[in-house]
Structure 1
Amino acid sequence: MRSKDELQSAIREAGRAVLVVNALSRRGRRMYGTARDLLKAAGLEFVEVFPVTDPERLGGLFEDALALEPDLVVVGGGDGTVAEAVGHLAHRDVALGVLPLGTTNNFARSLELPLDLAGAVEVLRNGKVADVDVGWFEGTTHGAPDDPAGAGAGPSKHIFANMVSLGLSVHVAEHVPHELKRIMGRAAYAVTAARLLPRHEAFDATIRIGDQTYRMATHQLNVANGAHHSGRRIARDASPDDRLLAVYRLGDRRRLQLASATARHVLTGPWRSLTEDAFITTDHVHIETDPPLDVDVDGEIRGRTPVTIRLLGNALRVLVPGSFVDT
């Protein structure tokens, strides 16, 4: 592995770069041409460009991209596309560059990247290489549809960039209309959540961290590596480079408490601290729920409880603004 300075120098000295753009993301289709023009104007050249038109092929495209042995992989898309990239680039001597083209762009926000294309391209041209944390998720997959007892279920393991969540947000992600998301952006999730909340059932969670056990009832439980959820900061001192996972719930068993806790989270996130009682910070957590629940990992249903989540410190190399605090 090269040092960060060595990799940064290689990128700036006409190193090998590839571009993966999700043409299906919210802004990808209409901004693809603009992005290419800005990249060209900035003098950024790519040995290969991979436009993504079939999400099922995304993993294969990253394998093809890495086979070219690049120094830099630039990804244009939303959090789902970035999450797929992180799974392939973690623990590699390759930097990830991000063009935020999604709806919420949580990972880009956590890296303090500009959300406008011109600003993001400027970071690709003059930013620095930083090492940031990612998470490791282990859960259980579903059995086959004709196997209701789950005898065919097996382990599910994934690297993630930003967030593992369970509860109402999983149902929202499954039911938010694509057209509504295209028109309303982040607000589509809030509208869908309001529609689903009256019928959503609370669950009991048992959280084990070392020799400590926490038990709670809630409608929503999150485990964050990054600093943002639904486009909002979760705490002023949260960062994808702090060697911490932040475990927190939104409200208790009462539905109105979920609504008020979510509003409080949105309004006070930039001023809250991870040291407050609302958060449990750790680098390793095991979660069981009653009943067992589907788990959302960076926007995709990746498994079912019980789950174990670990931090992988400094496992990913990224291009960030010079102001980003890299520890």
Structure 2
Amino acid sequence: MNKILFVINPISGDKDKTEYIKQIDEWAEGLELSIEKWETTGEADEEKLNQCIEAFVPDTVVAVGGDGTVMLCAKVLIDKGISLGILPAGSANGMATDIGFPEALPDALDLILNGRTIAADMLLFNGKDYGLHISDVGLNAGLVKEFEEGERRGFLGYAKGVTSQLLNLEKFEATLKIGDKTVVEEGHMVAFANARRYGTGAVLNTIGKLDDGIFEVYVLRSLSIPGLAGQFFEHIDDAASYCEVYQASKVKVTLNEPRFFQIDGELMGETKEVSVEVVPGCLKLIVGDDY
């Protein structure tokens, strides 16, 4: 019998999860499934989820929430061989969209049962913190700080954050050591992309793949209004002069001054140095047919 654990974030996206729980229960009736539901509380969630998985021993864990819930589950499932699925229930669900999960709950549930899996990579930051999709230092990390201090989410929150950041926009210098090559860049942001899309839904690059054993280092050299609009309408030009993209399995970035740093939407504070390496094929991830 297929055993599925649903990890539910009751406050993600400011959405009531009662209807989600009801539809999950109705879907499971008549199917040969054993399901459990577990809710996050914000207190020692990682430790408690580990204990729940050890007790229930599921075949699949499903994150019911936004990208933060997905990241919680992903960290717990590293090298466990347990499939991770997503029921998009956050404010933007960029990660779910990136890997082809439909927004309609019945369709997402069907994909959890019948979808294919990939051996997805994760990123390890400074030898201790894991990320799954996109992290960065600079402009967008500053936006994350604005998000944490503000009330709006999604595109409107992003636009408000951009306006605020533009008022204090300054370039910084970043030295990138990629293998035997060292390059010096100047710009507003250095991003580390295992995937294509930010949690807000904005597309960062068109070549990111979760299972290719490498990641993209994206340098935003200058703020381009057409480029910013293109992120939301998926008209990204990877060869544009306002950005530079490097591919790597390992990189060390040193900044000339401290900048805010975020991992998959979680603000890590200010830093002058970030080391990143890929952890290949460590996560069994359910993806859509088009991924």
Query: What TM-score range do you get, normalising by the shorter chain?
Result: 0.7 to 0.9
How far apart are residue 35 of structure 1 and its match? 1.7
Task: Decide which of 305, 310, 318 is 2:277's aligned counterpart.
Answer: 310
Q: Aligned pair 1:167/2:138, yes or no?
A: yes
- The letter of the residue matching 2:145 is E
CA contact (8 A) 1:103 1:186 kept: no
How far apart are residue 207 of structure 1 and its match? 0.7
**Does 124-133 or 306-315 show the bigger shift?**
124-133
Paired residues, number: 283
Q: Aligned pair 1:129/2:117, yes or no?
A: yes
Partner of 1:48: 36
Structure 2: runs of 5+ lacking an equivalent: none
How far apart are residue 313 of structure 1 and its match? 1.6
Task: Decide which of 261, 268, 287 is 1:295's aligned counterpart.
Answer: 261
Task: Decide which of 14, 17, 24 is 1:39's aligned counterpart.
Answer: 24
Call closer, same or farther: CA 1:273–1:226 in 2, change over 3 Å: farther
- The letter of the residue matching 2:219 is R
**Does 71-80 or 294-303 show the bigger shift?**
294-303
How far apart are residue 231 of structure 1 and its match? 0.7
2:183 match: secondary structure = strand
CA contact (8 A) 1:245 1:311 kept: yes
Partner of 1:249: 219
Call closer, same or farther: CA 1:98–1:265 in 2, change over 3 Å: closer
Q: Aligned pair 1:17/2:17, yes or no?
A: no
Alpha-carbon distance in structure 1 between the residues aligned to 2:47 and 2:95? 22
Q: Aligned pair 1:180/2:176, yes or no?
A: no
Alpha-carbon distance in structure 1 between the residues aligned to 2:285 and 2:156? 29
Q: Aligned pair 1:219/2:206, yes or no?
A: no
- The letter of the residue matching 1:101 is A
CA contact (8 A) 2:68 2:264 kept: yes
What is the percentage of aligned positions where both structures have the same residue?
Answer: 23
Task: Decide which of 216, 224, 231 is 2:201's aligned counterpart.
Answer: 231
Task: Decide which of 178, 185, 193 is 1:209's aligned counterpart.
Answer: 178
CA contact (8 A) 1:209 1:286 kept: yes
2:44 match: secondary structure = helix
Partner of 1:111: 99
How far apart are residue 160 of structure 1 and its match? 0.9
Alpha-carbon distance in structure 2 between the residues aligned to 1:26 and 1:193? 20
CA contact (8 A) 1:219 1:258 kept: no
Partner of 2:168: 199
How far apart are residue 258 of structure 1 and its match? 4.9
How far apart are residue 47 of structure 1 and its match? 4.3
CA contact (8 A) 2:133 2:264 kept: yes
Alpha-carbon distance in structure 1 between the residues aligned to 2:2 and 2:210? 26
Partner of 1:97: 85
Alpha-carbon distance in structure 1 between the residues aligned to 2:235 and 2:121? 21
